[in-house]
Each structure stands twice: as C-alpha cells, then as structure tokens.
Amino acid sequence: MVSTGAFNYINVLEKACDAGWMRNAAISNNIANVDTPGYKRKDVDFESYLQSAVFGGSSLDDNIASVDLDTITGTTYTDYGQVDYRLDGNNVDIDTENVELAKNQMKYYTMLDSITQEFTRLKSVLKTS
C-alpha cells in the first residue's frame, strides 16, 4: 500500500482485490468438498466492512481519504444455514458455487480494471505536468 492521497482509491481497491482472492479460494474449497459428508460451505464477508468504512460522510472522496485500511479486511466464515443439500449434512450446492465463482471472478477482474484506470489517470496527470 502506498501512503499518499493520490493512491487512496487504489489502496481501497487493493483491499477489495485481496478479499476477492480470499473468496475465490473459499469457493474453490467448497467445490472441492462438494462430496465431503458434513462439510459446511465457507464464504468471505468483506462488503459490510467496506460499507461501514466508506459510507456516511460528507463525500466519498473524504471517506476514502480517511478510511482505516486495517478495518476493511475480508473475514472467512462458515455457513451453518438451515439448508443441507444432502442427507449427510453437506450444504454445498455445486450449481450455486459455480455461479458464485463466476460472479466473484467478474468482480475481481472489474476491480483490477479499476486499478489500471486509476494508474492511467495518474500517468496522464504526470505527463501533462
């Protein structure tokens, strides 16, 4: 992480990418354990931390500038919901996991693209200076 105001959005996007990477690993692990008796699916909670860190102030720029990056890390949790898809207690649905994996990958690549765009903006500012 770079500690200058010019990189505020990049630093937050980097944290989002880290959480996306964690979610990808959790979903892949769920898919690998689809036939494991008693296995409970895992997921990553990140969005709630991000929302509480960047919403509620006067402007998004000010909120991003003052965000404590240590408070917006992803946390892996186990889903002990009421739905078990099999009699052996496993609650992994392979179709749902595949959809979640595809959705997570699209989000991840979108965040990477956003980081690239931020660096492109900084580069264009430096060229004109």
Per-residue pLDDT of the chain in tens (129 residues, 90 and over written 9): 555 567 888 888 999 999 999 999 999 999 999 999 999 999 999 988 888 887 877 777 787 888 888 888 899 999 987 777 778 889 999 999 999 999 999 999 999 999 999 899 888 888 876
74 close to 18: Cβ distance less than 8 angstroms: yes
pLDDT of 127:
83
Q: What is the pLDDT of residue 67?
A: 82
Which long-range contacts does 1-8 make (Cβ < 8 Å, 24+ apart)?
1/69, 5/65, 6/122, 7/118, 8/61, 8/64, 8/65, 8/67
Model pTM score: 0.83
- The residues, ordered by sequence, that sit 6+ positions from 47 with a Cβ below 8 Å of its Cβ are none
